[in-house]
């Protein structure tokens, strides 16, 4: 199998954690995509994923699977023992509910703020974003506020349970963890009063599949290039 991604970025980090959880690291060849040069927006990559996003999983027979949730579902079920996406109807429903909330309130909103409210990844990608600076700033700030609200929401959830969707570590936890990495890079901090979210993050950081694998020092060299 091949995975087209860029190490240290949030969605690739999600899949790398999944691979570690499922002991599949050694079965995957990683192909680095140059996001700074907008390689993922060029025809060769768009032929693999018309959405122009990473990661993309390519199976040995040439089948291509895009979208982090879909890739997670595939990898988690390869051994017939899904540990990240649920086994019972209730587990699956709970995990997917929290997964979508994690994307909407954290990862998607951070991404909008990062690309519209900061220098983002530089000039090569700007033409794929909103053209007017005033509109960009207003749009960005609205989503920064959404990220903070999302953090407080999940803080409340984690005040009643050890993990986002219940008693077990799941893909919803992975999604939020990766989103917080991106939030760090975008300059959005967890509110001081979100103590349960902070404690959860510290706990998840020490899981074997996460520690030293998640790209927590998010593309540091690239960010320095753009003054972040």
What's the CATH number where 17 sits?
3.40.30.10
What pLDDT sits at residue 220? Answer: 47
| Strands 2-5 and 29-32, bridge-based pairing | parallel
Q: How far is CA 30 from CA 43, 58, 155, in A?
A: 20, 10, 34
Residues 148 and 94 in one domain: yes
Whether 135 is in a domain gets the answer yes
What pLDDT sits at residue 92? Answer: 96
Residues 206 and 95 in one domain: yes
What pLDDT sits at residue 149? Answer: 92
Residues 138 and 212 in one domain: yes
pLDDT tens sequence across 20-31:
999 999 999 999
Residues 49 and 106 in one domain: no
Residues 104 and 207 in one domain: yes
Whether 82 is in a domain gets the answer no
What pLDDT sits at residue 213? Answer: 65
- Are the C-beta atoms of residues 6 and 35 closer than 8 Å to each other? yes
| CA-closest candidate to residue 32, choices 18, 43, 16, 17 | 16
What pLDDT sits at residue 226? Answer: 42
What pLDDT sits at residue 129? Answer: 59
Residues 218 and 165 in one domain: yes
User: 36-58: string of b/e by CB count within 10 Å (b at 16+)?
Assistant: eebbbeeeebeebbeeebbbbbb
Alpha-carbon distance of 59 to 28, in angstroms, equals 9
Which stretches in the chain have pLDDT values below 50? 214-218, 220-221, 223-228
Q: Which domain holds residue 107?
A: 89-225
Residues 110 and 153 in one domain: yes
Whether 83 is in a domain gets the answer no
Beta bridge partners of 31: 4
Whether 72 is in a domain gets the answer yes
Whether 122 is in a domain gets the answer yes
Number of domains comprising the chain: 2
Q: Given strand 29-32, what is the order of strands in its sheet?
A: 29-32, 2-5, 56-58, 64-66
What pLDDT sits at residue 57? Answer: 98
Residues 57 and 98 in one domain: no
| CA-closest candidate to residue 171, choices 37, 8, 19, 1 | 19
Q: 29, 51, 77: which is the final residue of a domain?
A: 77
Instruction: Provide the CATH number for the domain around residue 163.
Output: 1.20.1050.10
Q: 77, 110, 140: which is the final residue of a domain?
A: 77
Whether 184 is in a domain gets the answer yes
Residues 136 and 193 in one domain: yes
Alpha-carbon distance of 173 to 178, in angstroms, equals 9
């Amino acid at each position: 199998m091949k995975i087209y991604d860029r190490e240290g970025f949030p969605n690739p980090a999600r899949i790398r954690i999944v691979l570690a959880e499922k002991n599949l690291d050694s079965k995957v060849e990683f192909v680095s995509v140059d996001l700074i040069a907008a390689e993922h927006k060029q025809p060769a990559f768009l032929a693999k994923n018309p959405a122009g996003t990473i990661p993309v999983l390519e199976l040995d027979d040439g089948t291509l699977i895009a979208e982090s949730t879909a890739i997670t579902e595939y990898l988690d079920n390869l051994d017939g023992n899904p540990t990240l996406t649920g086994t019972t109807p209730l587990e699956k429903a709970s995990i997917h509910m929290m997964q979508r909330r994690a994307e909407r309130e954290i990862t998607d909103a951070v991404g909008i703020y990062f690309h519209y409210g900061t220098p983002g990844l530089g000039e090569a990608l700007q033409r794929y974003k909103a053209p007017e600076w005033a509109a960009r700033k207003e749009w960005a700030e609205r989503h920064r506020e959404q990220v903070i609200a999302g953090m407080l929401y999940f803080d409340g959830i984690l005040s009643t349970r050890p993990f986002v969707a219940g008693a077990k570590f799941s893909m919803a936890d992975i999604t939020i963890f990766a989103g917080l990495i991106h939030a760090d890079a975008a300059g959005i901090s967890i509110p001081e009063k979100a103590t349960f979210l902070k404690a959860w993050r510290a706990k998840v950081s020490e899981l074997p599949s996460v520690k030293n694998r998640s790209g927590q020092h998010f593309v540091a060299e690239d960010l320095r290039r753009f003054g972040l």
